[in-house]
Structure 1
């Protein structure tokens, strides 16, 4: 979608429909990598089968076989029943390194370009929010910020982080800006509209909280230039998490 918005062309083949190698290989590697970078955290349920089919544009048998592979290597467990599904057990296994290499290394130049573009776009989003915010937008930001700072665990913090940034996007009063921001997130997150969360380290949590407070202050006081600078710096957190995962893989590669 971002390709169509910016270039008027077809979706990027790198992060578009799965076509390289076998579809099952690609889907399982994307899921393993997404879990490794923290798109989905331990204890969290993966998107249901129907959502994965829509997000990755593959068939039901492909999704089922890919999930079965993740279960076989111990990354997820399958729970039955009304609230069942595939739940993340561990963010990293012996299979994760190979998946990260297959998924990230061939596209790394594009990822660095996307990180740069995302900083520019999110800076624009924050600046626009600072110019157009209304009282109800600021209330939503305050609620999400309070939920983030009081979050008992990484999954709750991740949800509050998403709510905070959604309230900033809403404050732009332009749905197309929201779509552009979401499409960039999808591309850096391997097809999933979820912010990478690393391993939930407290350092990242603290930095995110300080950035959220500063960003809220700039938007509330109507300072677009300051809001833009804060947002551009803030979104390097996700990029650094993905870089850290790739660095981990390179460090354990055989010499």
Structure 2
């Protein structure tokens, strides 16, 4: 696939003791974060097995499990493979309020975790000497999310945020940012995609990129913090 860094962040090697369960978890993470969007094919079996550090037998078992559960569709033939068919269902407000109640203090912890790792990633990236390729990648991710239509907005917003951590070159930091995003993904998906919110987020996205490209770690940290605080305020408002 084109976005191998984003795949690296979510499809990390699994431990031998729980290979099947962790393989399922890694694949679900890639699906639910939109790293492999609906209608797209997972990487080839051989590549996936190498990425995850597992046997192809274990990988096939995990793919079959997710196909039976309605997340993937396995197609045979020359253009076959495991295709994502899962789409996030719209949640009712009552369901989301229950989800928030079930999380309890875990919601505050998840928001704090996201704030720490995403602000830190922006700070690290702004302090680095960036290549033209890194700069172009960041600008492209910004253009993608700020120019997206509502149907693709959430996936491209995720790609934008994860790209900041990935461009630092730290797989641990990229993985932490992916984990932080996944913890509240179902809540973020509950926020209606309204044009005023998208326009406001676009301004904040540009401020983040401007600070990083200017090599200003403090401004990058502040820009991400302001953006995430705005998102948390929307969550509190819609899920109150």
Interval of TM-score (by shorter of Structure 1 and Structure 2): 0.5 to 0.7
CA 135–116 in structure 1, closer or farther in 2 if over 3 Å, else same:
closer
- Comparing 29-38 with 132-141, greater Cα deviation is found at 132-141
Does the C-alpha gap of structure 1 residues 24 and 211 become closer, same or farther in structure 2, counting only changes over 3 Å? Answer: same
Matched, 1:202 2:185: no
Aligned to 1:128: 127
TM-score where L is the length of structure 1: 0.55
Question: Are positions 1:46 and 2:42 aligned together?
Answer: yes
Q: Residue 64 of structure 1: CA displacement?
A: 0.2
- Matches of 2:14 and 2:54, distance apart in 1: 11
1:77: Cα distance to partner? Answer: 0.9
Matched-pair contact (CA < 8 Å) for 2:14–2:23: no
Seen in structure 2, the aligned counterparts of structure 1 residues 36 and 235 have a Cα distance that, compared at 3 Å, is: same
* Structure 1, unpaired ranges of 5+: 1-14, 94-104, 170-177, 191-195, 244-255
Partners of 2:130 and 2:117 lie apart in 1 by 21
Match of 2:70, SS? coil
State the alpha-carbon separation in 1 of the partners of residues 172 and 205 from structure 2: 22
- Asked whether 1:151 is paired with 2:140, we answer no
Offset, 1:226: 1.1
What is the alpha-carbon distance in structure 2 between the residues aligned to residue 58 and residue 140 of structure 1?
A: 30
User: How many equivalent pairs are there?
Assistant: 196
Within the candidate set 217, 222, 228, 2:221 is matched to: 228
2:143 counterpart SS class = helix
Q: Where does the alignment leave 5 or more consecutive residues of structure 2 unmatched? A: 1-12, 90-102, 180-184, 236-240
* Structure 1 residue 49 displacement after superposition: 1.6
Shift in alpha-carbon separation, 1:226–1:62, aligned structure 2, 3 A: same
RMSD: 4.6
TM-score, normalised to structure 2's length?
Answer: 0.58
CA contact (8 A) 1:126 1:231 kept: no
Distance in 1 between residues matched to 2:116 and 2:215, nearest whole Å: 24
Structure 1 residue 214 corresponds to structure 2 residue 207: yes
Displacement after TM superposition at 1:63 (Å): 0.5
Question: 1:17 touches 1:56 (CA, 8 Å); kept in 2?
Answer: no
